Amino acid sequence: MKIGLFAINIGACADPAVAAKVAVAAEAAGFESLWTGEHVVLPDPQVPPSPSPPTTPILDPAVTLAFLAAHTRTIRLGTGIIILPQRNPVLLAKELASLDVLSRGRLVFGIGVGYLKPEFDALGIPFVEKGGRSEEYLAAMLALWTMEKPAFEGRFASFAGIQAMPRPVQKPHPEIVFGGHTPDAFRRAARLAKGWYGFALDLEKTRACIEGLKRACAAVGRSFADVEVSITPAPERERPVLDVETAKRFAELGVRRLILYQPRARDEAAMLRVVEQAAHDLVGKLAG
C-alpha cells in the first residue's frame, strides 16, 4: 500500500512556508506522494455541489508542485486532479512536461472532467461535452509528449508542424490517473489511464466504485489487476488519520494507494500532526 497526502496546495498549505515544511516532513516520514486539488474559482456564495467556501485559498497545482519539487527529492507529485476540459491542452502539456523535468520524473497526472458549472462559465468554457473534450485534450497532450513530429486533428484541438521541448522525463509519458465516481469515469480509467482515483469514499462506496471499475475493465478487455486504485478515505471526526485495520480493509478491496486528507487540519501544526500520526500508524505498517 502506498501512502499519499492530499491538499498540499489548499488551506494551510496555500502558505508556501507551510507547504514546504509539510512536504519535507512527509517525504522524511516515508509518504509515497503529495497531491493537489484544483478549482480555478469557487461560487460565491457557496452553493451545492461546490465543495468549499469561496474564500478557501487554492494554489495552482502545477505551480505548487514545481515549488515543492525544489524542496524534495524522491516523493511523487500528483495532480488530484486537474480539470482538463478547462485547460488549453498545448499549454498544459508544456506546463506538465516542465514540471516533470524540474522534478526529475516525479509527476503523476491526475485528471478530472469537472462538475461546477459556475467555474466553467467564469472561464468561458462550455459545460457540455466535458468528457469528450477531456479525452481529446489528453490525446493531443500525448501527441506532444510522444510523437517525433507532433500532430493532432480533432474537434476541439488541432496542430501540426510544431515541436514542444523538452519532453517529459518519464517515458513514454507521466503516469495518468482519472478521477470521478461515474460509469464514464470508470471507463476512461480502464481505457486511457494507469489508475483511477476516488475521493472522500468510505469502504462501502469504495466497494461499489471498484465493482464499476471492474465492469469497465471487462468491457474493454483489460485486467482490473493492472489498474492502480487510489482512494482518499472519507475523513473521520473521531481521528485525524485512518486506523490501520480500516486501511487493510481498503487494501483487501483492491486499493493500492491511500491519499490521506484531514480538512480540519487548518494550520501548520495540525498538518504536521497528521503527517506524524500517519507515519506512526500507517506508513511503517502498510507503505510499499
> Using one digit for the tens of pLDDT, what is the confidence trace for 186-229?
999 999 999 999 999 999 999 999 999 999 999 999 999 999 99
Q: By the 8 A CB rule, do 263 and 235 touch?
A: yes
Beta bridge partners, 259, equal 4
Which residue reads 487540519 in cell numbers? Answer: 265
The Cα 167–Cα 143 span in angstroms is: 11
The Cα 14–Cα 56 span in angstroms is: 9
Write down the pLDDT at residue 235.
83
Write down the pLDDT at residue 12.
97
Q: Look over the chain and give the mean of its residue pLDDT values, rounded to a whole number.
A: 96
Write down the pLDDT at residue 238.
60
Write down the pLDDT at residue 240.
66
C-alpha distances in Å from residue 75, one per residue of 21, 28, 31, 35, 82: 14, 9, 7, 10, 19
Write down the pLDDT at residue 286.
75
* 222-249 average pLDDT score: 89
Q: What is the pLDDT of residues 55-98, one digit of tens each?
A: 999 999 999 999 999 999 999 999 999 999 999 999 999 999 99
Q: In this structure, which long-range contacts are made by residues 245-252, counting pairs with CB atoms below 8 Å and at least 24 apart in sequence?
A: 246/203, 247/1, 247/282, 247/286, 248/286, 249/203, 250/1, 250/203, 250/206, 251/1, 251/286
**178 pLDDT above the threshold of 90:** yes
Beta bridge partners, 117, equal none
Packing angle of the helix pair 268-278, 16-29 (nearest 10 deg): 10
Write down the pLDDT at residue 272.
97
pTM, rounded to two decimals: 0.96
**287 pLDDT above the threshold of 60:** no
Task: For domain 2-286, give the fold.
Answer: TIM Barrel (3.20.20)
Write down the pLDDT at residue 237.
65
Q: What is the pLDDT of residues 124-151, one digit of tens each?
A: 999 999 999 999 999 999 999 999 999 9
Give the domain ranges of the chain.
Answer: 2-286
Q: Which three cell numbers stand for residue 95?
A: 506546463
**102 pLDDT above the threshold of 70:** yes
The DSSP H or E segment spanning 110 is strand 107-112
* Beta strand 158-159 pairing with 152-153: antiparallel
Percent of the chain residues topping a pLDDT of 70: 98
* 221-245 average pLDDT score: 88
